[in-house]
Structure 1
Amino acid sequence: MNFKKHGIAAIAIAAAAALSACSAGSLGSSDDDTTSGGAAAEKIELSFLVDNTETSQMTAQAIADGFMAENDDVEITIESRPGGADGDNIVKTKLATGEMNDIFMYNSGSLLQALDPTNQLVDLSSEEFMSRVDEAFLPSVSSGDKVFGVPFGQAMAGGILYNRSVYDDLGLEVPTTWDEFMANNEKIKAAGIDPVIQSFGDTWTSQLFILADFHNVTQAQSDWAEKYTANQAKYVDEPAIKGFQRLEEVATAGYMNEDYATAKLDQALTKLVNGEGAHYPMLTFVVNTYVTLADDAAENIGFFAQPGDDAATNGLTAWTPAGIYLPATTEGEELEAAKRFLDYVATPEACDAQTEAVTPTGPYMVQGCTLPDDLPQAVLDLQSYFDEGKASPALEFVSPVKGPNLEKITVEVGSGIRSAADGAKLYDQDVEKQAQQLGLEGW
């Protein structure tokens, strides 16, 4: 997938997350909302399942409110689910039992393929509104000729958020190689500051050193994803094992915060903003959360791509947005209303509603959508990678293979319970099971 070709290099990558979760409130009937007999018309009620992060809740509420303002015959209620593996299991169970909400938000890419979308989801390929969705997004929500989702939020990236004041005080420069990064960590530790913040209390956050390293993998072996999908490349081998090794190196060197095992995402961001820690491996969707924590946070927290072995090939690993999908169990007037909702989501008006609610994480993947000019420093840092053509898609957007237990394995490696080699080997086994379930050739 060529992100640069489809305009990401022309727009600033922003940040996101949010302030507080919201639930949908009911809208009162207007004077005109009556039948010919004078009784209030009954609204079509839709439930919209979204993960429980503040950003997702705020984004979902914004687009639901925008839609309902133009469609007073429909009422959308937002429901929440956990993130990570627990959330994956809830989505799979709801689909398998026929109890999925009318509309749901979920990952695009490889995790979507694990839902058996051809049998479980409504095909949207013939809907007119899909022509307004950026072509770069479509492969991540497709299976064969069928397309199943519209973008939820914006594109984002994975890498290292860092405290610029700490860097300035210690005279450090942004690293472009892993050796430079580790040298910075040593100086930061000597200054009495936690070099690398981790938040294994939210287990999904433990994966970033592996996931954000994928640009480095592709630079070392351009066809790695293709071979990986065909069962001809493994994480236990070079170059992919280096992500596991880098997680292990940081832990072994004692560079992590003392409470890494129990700290949550919000606590980690607070440490970063307060200068208690210098680096936080993370996806950029969290930026709008941390900018609320201090007046100077938007300017003081920067971002750089995860360094690899060669400064000349240093670059960014990028993510397409999540998607909004309709389960096959949504039928009748609910299906018609749900499609109207997706039609609204794929408009500049819906993008503007999201921007009003949360600072964007990056470019919207809907035609005609624009971004504001006043974006946080991390966004400006991200932009340079795209401007220079130094960005590539994350593995989950170029391969359907992703094991469900990576976050559990990375917690063990980052905690010293399991070696990098053992973790990579275990993940290869986890991947094998998933690939066999998908029926891929060579497995």
Structure 2
Amino acid sequence: MLSRSSALRTSAALTASALVAVSLAACSSAGNGGDGANAEVTVSVYNEAAVVKTVTALAEAFQKENPGITVTVDPRPTGTEGDNLVKTQLSTGEMDSVLLYNSGSLFQALNPDQTLTDLSGESWAADVSDGFKAVVSTDAGFYGAPLGTSYAGAVVYNKKVFADLGIEVPKDWASFTAAAAKIKAAGITPVEQTYGDSWTSQLFVLGDFGNILAQDPQWAEEYTANKAKYADQPALTSFQHLQDAFDAGMFNQDFASATAADGIAALGSGKAAMYPMLTQVVLGQLAQDAPDQIADLGVFPFPADAAADTTLTVWQPSALYIPKTTEGAQLDAAKKFIAFANSSAGCDIQNANGNAAGPYVIDTCKVPTDAAPLVSDIASYVDGGKSASALEFLSPIKGPNLENISVEVGSGIRSAADGAAAYDEDVKKQAQQLGIEGW
């Protein structure tokens, strides 16, 4: 699961864990009466610099429009420690008045019907995409408001290399392998791999999920119920393509030791033509190291065997939730803050404090005109109905050893069939630990 609960960290964590207070001197309360006009709101957020920066900026702007409401940003640990803290605070009634947390299966693990406030009646809810609603809802309610953009797990490519070699974006696996052969003949690495950061090896499998769903729309449900396996088709193809790419010599010579930063640098400079990666990670790294190279990059889905099945896999943004323990004036103020974050003014603040790595999932937010060109690529698949949420948003099951198994398959140590079977066993152990029915 490529999420904040995994090895993936897309922003540098803050060194300080103290509360970040954002209190402004009250000017006047005139014109700001009504419910929630005088209250204190605390927002629990990931202890990541980019996240804290954005939420703090939202809090400052919100307070200017709402004198009398004080918003405090409360950073918490990332990873498993943070997940456990969130669950504990929700179960004991000690959670802050607003919670920023994952959408999808990790959201479902919070027992939302018992711990979170239904937000389906809020005015902004009608503007949220169906795809996002599905990953912050249960049969009993709709609980989350988006913060930030979606992003893709796909093949990021250097458009200059493709143009120079006369290569079009591959639509199926056959055209992908043909493109790789042409790129290799030109002395350029066709596909960058970076097993020095072993989590990156998972993209061939996790980023291919949209193609699985295109062939079997019920696959995620069947997988969760122990009725679908990676060792069987259509999911086996995800591992098979990883093996095929290695067997064809598509990878950089230092694939075993290269890091994600190395891979992004190679892609941006044109030393590598394609890099299976999360767009959020690529853009974040290049914005820091080589912002002038961002315009040279595009993105396309992992190609399926059949072009008709090729579907972009999308990671949904995190969400702002309100615990049921938030009540009275504090509840009203919390709802106001969430509404502001998703207003046009709030979206401008999000754009000013971060790099859009994909489309927003709410109509009130638009990516800036100077956003990376690959954002438009992602939007074209989303708008064209050729995208699907990553498996982690549809199922709670992911074995902890996928990255190690993917490294083995992608290094020629283990066959695709053996790797898929090993992962099914890895998944079984994790599903049993979660107590999921049918395992």
Alignment of 1:17-416 (within 5 A): 26-27=21-22, 29-30=24-25, 32=27, 44=40, 46-50=42-46, 52=48, 56-71=51-66, 73-77=69-73, 79=75, 81-82=77-78, 87-96=79-88, 103-119=98-114, 121-125=115-119, 128=122, 131-132=125-126, 134=128, 136=130, 137-286=132-281, 288-289=283-284, 290-291=286-287, 293-294=289-290, 296-326=292-322, 337-416=333-412
- Conserved in 2, the CA contact under 8 Å of 1:235 and 1:425? yes
CA distance in 1: counterparts of 2:253 and 2:326, whole angstroms: 48
Assess, with a 3 A threshold, how the Cα gap between structure 1 residues 300 and 124 changes in structure 2: closer, same or farther: same
Mean CA deviation greater in 94-103 or 366-375: 94-103
Cross-structure match for 1:4 = none
The answer to whether the 8 A contact 2:342-2:365 is kept is: no
1:125-172: per-residue Cα shift (whole Å, max 9, x none)? 466356355151222012331333211212232211111122233332
| Cα deviation 1:164-204 (Å, max 9, x = unaligned) | 12223333222112232223223333433332223344444
Shift of 1:236: 1.1
User: Percent of aligned pairs with the same residue?
Assistant: 42
Note the alpha carbon deviations across 1:111-136, whole angstroms, 9 max, x for none: 322344445x4223466356355151
Q: Measured at CA, do residues 102 and 198 of structure 1 come closer, stay the same or move farther in structure 2, by a change above 3 Å?
A: farther
Instruction: Using the TM superposition, name which of 304-313 and 361-370 deviates more.
Output: 361-370
Could you tell me which amino acid in structure 2 is paired with residue 365 of structure 1? V
Pick which of 350-359 and 23-32 moved more. Answer: 23-32
2:5 alignment partner in structure 1? none
Cα deviation digits, residues 315-359 of structure 1 (max 9, x gap): 322333222234567678766654443232232221121122224
Which blocks of at least 5 consecutive residues in structure 1 are unaligned?
1-16, 35-41
Structure 1 residues 45, 202: closer, same or farther in 2, change over 3 A?
farther
Equivalent position to 2:427, from 428, 431, 434: 431
Are the structure 2 counterparts of residues 380 and 30 from structure 1 closer, same or farther at C-alpha, using a change threshold of 3 Å? Answer: closer
Letter in 2 for 1:395: L
- Alpha-carbon contact 1:132-1:347 (below 8 Å) kept: no
* C-alpha separation in 2, matches of 1:126 and 1:161: 36
Looking at structure 1, the residues matched to 350 and 300 of structure 2 have their Cα atoms a distance apart, in angstroms, of 25
| Number of residue pairs aligned between Structure 1 and Structure 2 | 414
Instruction: Note if contact 1:351-1:364 (Cα within 8 Å) is conserved in structure 2.
Output: no
* Residue identity opposite 2:410 in structure 1: G
Change (3 A) 1:146 1:192: same
**Would the aligned equivalents of 2:299 and 2:377 in 1 still touch at CA under 8 Å?**
yes
CA distance in 1, matches of 2:107, 2:198: 20
Residue type at the aligned position of 2:228: A
Q: Residues 251 and 337 from structure 1, CA distance in 2 versus in 1: closer, same or farther, beyond 3 angstroms? A: farther
Residues 141 and 43 of structure 1: CA distance in aligned 2, closer, same or farther (over 3 Å): closer
State the TM-score, normalizing by the size of structure 2: 0.79
Q: What SS does structure 2 have at the residue aligned with 1:143?
A: coil
Report the Cα distance in structure 1 between the residues aligned to 2:127 and 2:351, rounded to whole angstroms.
17
Alpha-carbon deviation of 1:427?
Answer: 2.6
Segment of structure 1 superposing worse, 145-154 or 233-242: 145-154
**Contact kept in structure 1, 2:76 and 2:82, CA below 8 Å:** no
Residue of structure 2 in register with 1:13 after alignment? none
Deviation by residue 1:385-405 (Cα, 9 ceiling, x = unmatched): 345433333333444444454
CA distance in 1, matches of 2:64, 2:254: 45
CA shift, 1:262, in A, is 4.8
- The residue type equivalent to 2:184 in the other structure is K
* Whole-Å separation in 1 of the counterparts to 2:412 and 2:276: 18
Paired residue secondary structure (1:145):
coil
Cα RMSD between the aligned structures? 3.6
Matched letter for residue 108 of structure 2 = Q
Q: Distance in 2 between matches of 1:299 and 1:271?
A: 15
Q: In the superposition, relative to structure 1, how do residues 329 and 432 fare at CA in structure 2: closer, same or farther (>3 Å)?
A: farther
How far apart are the structure 2 equivalents of 1:194 and 1:134? 40
Structure 2 residue matching 1:141: 3-state secondary structure: coil
Task: Indicate if the aligned counterparts of 1:106 and 1:322 stay in contact, CA closer than 8 A.
Answer: yes
- CA–CA distance in 2 between the matches of 1:404 and 1:115? 20
Q: 2: CA distance between counterparts of 1:373 and 1:105?
A: 27
TM-score, structure 1 length as denominator?
0.78
**8 Å CA contact 1:197, 1:277 repeated in 2:** yes
Alpha-carbon contact 2:22-2:72 (below 8 Å) kept: no
